[in-house]
Amino acid sequence: MALKYVYFFGGGQADGKADMKNLLGGKGANLAEMTSIGLPVPPGFTISTEVCTEFYKNNRTHPASLAAEVSANLKKIEDLMGKKFGDPANPLLLSVRSGARASMPGMMDTVLNLGLNDTTVKGIVAQSGDERFAYDAYRRFVQMYADVVLGMNKDTLDHLLEQKKEERDVHFDTDLTAGDWKDLVGQYKAAIKAELDIDFPEDPQEQLWGAINAVFGSWMNQRAITYRKLNNIPAEWGTAVNVQGMVFGNMGNDCATGVAFTRDPSTGENYFYGEFLVNAQGEDVVAGIRTPQPINRAKDNGNGDLPSMEEVMPECYQQLVQIREILEQHYKDMQDIEFTIEKGVLYMLQTRNGKRTAPASIKIAVDMVNEGLIDKKTAVLRVAPSQLDQLLHPTLDPHAKKTVIAKGLPASPGAVSGEVVFCADEAEAEAKTGRKVILVRIETSPEDIHGMHAAQGILTARGGMTSHAAVVARGMGKCCVAGCGEIKVDYTNESFTTVTGQVVKKGDLITLDGSKGEVMLGVVPTVSVQLTGDFAKLMGWVDEFRTMKIRANADTPHDARVARDFGAEGIGLCRTEHMFFDAERIAAVREMILSDELEGRERALAKILPMQTSDFIGIFKEMKGLPVTIRLLDPPLHEFLPQNEKDIEELSKTMKVPVKTLKYTVESLHEFNPMLGHRGCRLGITFPEIYDMQVRAIMTAACELVKNEGFSIVPEIMIPLIATVKELSVLKQNAVAICEEVIAAYGVKMEYLIGTMIELPRAALTADEIATEAEFFSFGTNDLTQTTFGLSRDDAGKFLPFYIDNGIMDEDPFVTLDQAGVGQLVKIACEKGRSTRPNIKLGICGEHGGNPASVIFCHKAGLNYASCSPFRVPIARLAAAHAALS
Ligand code: PEP
Ligand code: MG
Instruction: Give the ligand with the smallest distance to the CA of 721.
Output: 2
Q: Is the CB of 780 under 6 A from ligand 1?
A: yes
Q: For residues 4-8, give the mean pLDDT.
A: 97
Q: For residues 404-433, give the mean pLDDT.
A: 92
Residue 591 confidence (pLDDT) above 80 = yes
781 Cα–ligand 1 center, Å: 7
CA dihedral (180, 181, 187, 192) in degrees, to 10, reads 170
Residue nearest to atom 6 of ligand 1 (CA): 780
CB distance 713 to 620 below 8 Å: yes
Assess whether 453 carries a catalytic annotation.
no
CB distance 380 to 499 below 8 Å: no
CA distance 348 to 34: 8
CA distance 212 to 529: 48
Which residues are within 8 A (CB) of 880 and not within 5 positions of it... i.e. 6 or more apart?
Answer: 542, 546, 547, 548, 550, 855, 856, 859, 866
CA distance 760 to 789: 11
Residue 606 confidence (pLDDT) above 80 = yes
SS3 of 313-324: the string is CHHHHHHHHHHH
- pLDDT the model gives residue 483: 85
Beta strands per DSSP E along 627-784: 628-631, 716-719, 753-758, 776-779
Q: What's the pLDDT band for 465 if we cut at 50, 70, 90?
A: low
653 Cα–ligand 2 center, Å: 34
- pLDDT the model gives residue 792: 86
Q: Is the CB of 845 under 6 A from ligand 1?
A: yes
Assess whether 468 carries a catalytic annotation.
yes
Q: Is the CB of 759 under 6 A from ligand 1?
A: yes
- pLDDT the model gives residue 475: 61
Average pLDDT over all residues of the chain: 92
Query: 457-460 and 437-441 as β-strands: parallel, antiparallel, unpaired?
Result: parallel
SS3 599: helix
Q: For residues 78-100, give the mean pLDDT.
A: 96
841: β partners: 776
CA distance 562 to 500: 43
Packed helices 873-885 and 534-545: angle between N→C axes, nearest 10 degrees: 50
Q: For residues 48-58, give the mean pLDDT.
A: 94
- pLDDT the model gives residue 469: 83
Pocket test for ligand 1, best of 577, 777, 779, 783 (most atoms within 8 A of CB): 783
- Of 247, 304, 258, residue with least CA distance to 284: 258
Residue 871 confidence (pLDDT) above 90 = no
Residue 708 confidence (pLDDT) above 90 = yes
Which residues are within 8 A (CB) of 322 and not within 5 positions of it... i.e. 6 or more apart?
Answer: none
- Between the alpha carbon of residue 345 and those of residues 134, 234, 313, 445, 584, the distances in Å are 19, 39, 11, 31, 77
Q: What's the pLDDT band for 468 if we cut at 50, 70, 90?
A: confident
545 Cα–ligand 2 center, Å: 31
- pLDDT the model gives residue 674: 87
Max mean pLDDT among 56-60, 118-122, 390-394, 592-596 falls in 118-122
Atom of ligand 1 nearest to the CA of 780: 3
Is residue 647 classed exposed, middle or buried when 0-12, 13-18 and 19+ CB atoms within 10 A define those classes?
middle
Which residues are within 8 A (CB) of 869 and not within 5 positions of it... i.e. 6 or more apart?
Answer: 552, 553, 847, 850
CA distance 731 to 754: 10
Which residue among 62, 393, 453, 468 is the active-site one? 468
- pLDDT the model gives residue 847: 85
Which residues are within 8 A (CB) of 675 and not within 5 positions of it... i.e. 6 or more apart?
Answer: 636, 783, 786, 792, 793, 794
CA distance 271 to 43: 30
Residue 207 confidence (pLDDT) above 90 = yes
CA distance 510 to 352: 35
CB distance 729 to 764 below 8 Å: no
Query: What amino acid occupies position 578?
Result: H
The phi-psi region of residue 868 (left if phi > 0; otherwise alpha if psi is between -120 and 50; otherwise beta) is: beta
Give the residue, 304 or 723, on which the prediction is more confident: 723
- pLDDT the model gives residue 477: 67
Find the range with the poorest average confidence among 127-141, 366-380, 539-553, 654-668: 654-668
519: β partners: 406, 512
CA distance 330 to 337: 14
Find the range with the poorest average confidence among 249-263, 283-297, 505-519, 634-648: 283-297
CA distance 813 to 802: 14
Q: What's the pLDDT band for 284 if we cut at 50, 70, 90?
A: low
Q: What's the pLDDT band for 328 if we cut at 50, 70, 90?
A: very high
- Of 44, 108, 62, 101, residue with least CA distance to 243: 44
Residue 841 confidence (pLDDT) above 80 = yes
- pLDDT the model gives residue 728: 98
Residue 283 confidence (pLDDT) above 70 = no
The torsion angles phi and psi of 435, rounded to 5 degrees, stand at -85, 155
CA distance 469 to 450: 12
Residue 798 confidence (pLDDT) above 80 = no
CA distance 18 to 617: 57
- Between the alpha carbon of residue 707 and those of residues 46, 406, 407, 712, 748, the distances in Å are 74, 61, 60, 9, 7
844 Cα–ligand 1 center, Å: 10
- pLDDT the model gives residue 336: 95
557's enclosing H/E stretch is helix 557-565
Query: 841-844 and 776-779 as β-strands: parallel, antiparallel, unpaired?
Result: parallel
726 Cα–ligand 1 center, Å: 22
Atom of ligand 1 nearest to the CA of 575: 9
The torsion angles phi and psi of 194, rounded to 5 degrees, stand at -65, -40
**pLDDT > 90: percent of the chain:** 73
Q: Is the CB of 76 under 6 A from ligand 1?
A: no
For residue 288, the tally of other CB atoms under 10 A from its CB is 26
CB distance 823 to 844 below 8 Å: no
**pLDDT > 70: percent of the chain:** 97
The torsion angles phi and psi of 524, rounded to 5 degrees, stand at -105, 130
Find the range with the poorest average confidence among 155-164, 213-222, 283-292, 361-370: 283-292
Pocket test for ligand 1, best of 581, 721, 757 (most atoms within 8 A of CB): 757
**Residue pLDDT, tens place only, 349-371:** 999 999 898 889 999 999 999 99
Residue 83 confidence (pLDDT) above 80 = yes
Which residue among 52, 845, 858, 868 is the active-site one? 845
For residue 89, the tally of other CB atoms under 10 A from its CB is 12
- pLDDT the model gives residue 103: 84
CB distance 373 to 386 below 8 Å: no
Pocket test for ligand 1, best of 629, 845, 858 (most atoms within 8 A of CB): 845
Q: What's the pLDDT band for 120 if we cut at 50, 70, 90?
A: very high
Taken in order 678, 683, 686, 687, is the CA torsion positive or negative?
Answer: positive
Q: Is the CB of 385 under 6 A from ligand 1?
A: no
Residue 182 confidence (pLDDT) above 90 = yes
Q: Is the CB of 358 under 6 A from ligand 1?
A: no
